[in-house]
Structure 1
Amino acid sequence: MSRGQIIGITAGAAAGAVLLAPVALSMAGFTAAGITAGSMAAGMMSSAAITSGGGVATGSLVALLQSAGAAGMSATATAGVASVGGAAGALVSGAVGFLKRMRK
């Protein structure tokens, strides 16, 4: 696998992660209208409320995900998602290259 292919796969994975993060949040139940009843987000919120004595703690994972679902992701969150997506893309492309070399 060439360096250009690895860079392309890494960049594609980073861009894909950024573009798909809002879709994933919505599918999990974190929406602009609030947490969707019966969703995974509702289950997470219920567990968080039970753990913290009746409310969802500020700064908790549920609060951060709902904030991102309601208002979109901040620049910092977008950069973090892109970094994770890029790292995953690099890992996959490296593994593919390794397996191709092993088959020869």
Structure 2
Amino acid sequence: MGLLIGLAIAAGAAGGVLLAPVALGAIGFGAIGPAAGSYAASMMSAAAIANGGAVAAGSTVAVLTSTGMAGLGAAGTAAAAGAGATVVGVIGRLWRR
């Protein structure tokens, strides 16, 4: 049973890495920036209004825009893998109850 759980968590980690760019693209964070009329564009607009006309460096919107344009990078890959593994681990725990 332990090996099966380990394999499922590894698959979740790989799935997180593979699905992160798809999810970013689905909400509008693309290779040339947020797509017009998308959820990403509305997030960027709200962040700019809240910050006096500019999007703050290091904000969630800035990081998602950068990731959509340049890819995950090492930290993003690790975060996506961790998120995917966590989701599978939580589902596994709930399943065994």
> Smaller-chain TM-score range?
over 0.9
Aligned residue number for residue 32 of structure 1: 31
| RMSD between aligned residues | 0.9
1:6·1:94 contact (CA, 8 Å) conserved in 2? no
What is the CA–CA distance in structure 1 between the aligned matches of 2:10 and 2:85, rounded to whole Å?
6
What is the CA–CA distance in structure 1 between the aligned matches of 2:33 and 2:65, rounded to whole Å?
7
* Identity between Structure 1 and Structure 2 (%): 47
Q: How does 1:8-19 map to 2 (within 5 A)?
A: 8-19=7-18
| Paired amino acid for 1:53 | G
Ranges of 4+ aligned residues in structure 1 off by more than 6 Å = none
What is the Cα deviation at residue 3 of structure 1?
A: 0.9
SS in 2 for 1:59: coil
Structure 1 stretch 88-97 or stretch 71-80: which is displaced more?
88-97
Unpaired stretches in structure 1, ≥5 consecutive residues: 99-104
What is the Cα deviation at residue 64 of structure 1?
A: 0.4
Aligned residue number for residue 22 of structure 1: 21
What is the Cα deviation at residue 83 of structure 1?
A: 0.9
Q: TM-score, normalised by structure 2?
A: 0.95
1:25·1:65 contact (CA, 8 Å) conserved in 2? yes
Structure 1 stretch 80-89 or stretch 18-27: which is displaced more?
80-89
SS in 2 for 1:41: helix
Q: TM-score, normalised by structure 1?
A: 0.89
1:36·1:42 contact (CA, 8 Å) conserved in 2? yes
1:17·1:85 contact (CA, 8 Å) conserved in 2? yes
Unpaired stretches in structure 2, ≥5 consecutive residues: none
What is the Cα deviation at residue 95 of structure 1?
A: 1.7
How many pairs are equivalent?
Answer: 97
